[in-house]
Every structure is written in structure tokens, then in C-alpha cells.
Amino acid sequence: MEELQNKLQTELDKLKDVGKQYNNAVSQRQVLDGQLHENMGVKQELELLKSDGEVYKMIGPVLVKQELNEAKQNVCKRIDYITAELKRMDDLISTLDAEQDQQREKLAKLQQQFQLQQTKAAKS
């Protein structure tokens, strides 16, 4: 019975760990989503500029002039990178979600076994 109780605690700890990983992944995804929306807004603003428009990039406390095409390329690269990271996060979240479900099933089975043993011990 004690062995079953230890197994139950181990599986519960695993479920908590997976839950923490899941919450971290969701938080990271939200940050990436915010960054994507911000960069999409920047891209839209850059599209509004005429070809002779001036763009400045902040490097530390200094504004440095940047070519419009270079700025557009940088923003597009950033959007591509963030989109790839979002896909990776979505895949990780799906995996962790499935893992949580498996842990819950294991935990439920162990709880049933534990309750069954407790009932048998009470009858004895």
C-alpha cells in the first residue's frame, strides 16, 4: 500500500511539472504573439512611407538613419522568425497538453487502485 502511495505521489509530481512547463509555454506564446502584432504594425507603417521617406533605428540612446528597404527587410525577417517560434510553441503546447492528459489518466488509475486497497484493508 505504501508503494502505491509513493507511485501516486510521483505521478502527481510529474503532473505538476508538466503543468508548469505548459504554463511557461503559454506565457512565452503570449509574448511572441504580442511581438508579432507589434511587428505587423511596424510593417504596415513602413508600407505607408514613400520611397524617399526617412527611417531611423534606435541603437541604445542614439537614433541612426536606416534605408527604408533595409528596415522593411529587417521587419519581414523578424516576422518570419516570430511566426516560426509561434509554430514551435504551438507544437510544444500540444505535446504538453497530451502529456498532461496521459498523466491525469495514470493518476486516476492509481487513485482507483489506492482506494480499492484502502477498502480491502478496512474490511480486513
Nearest to 87 by CA among 37, 28, 40, 42: 28
86, 39 in Cβ contact below 8 A? no
Report pLDDT for 3.
85
Q: pLDDT tens digits, residue range 18-66?
A: 999 999 999 999 999 999 999 999 999 999 999 888 999 999 999 999 9
Residue-wise pLDDT for 87-106, tens only, equals 999 999 999 999 999 999 99
Q: How far is it, in rounded angstroms, from Cα 95 to Cα 123?
A: 42
Domains of the chain: 2-119 (1.10.287.370)
d(CA 44, CA 75): 10
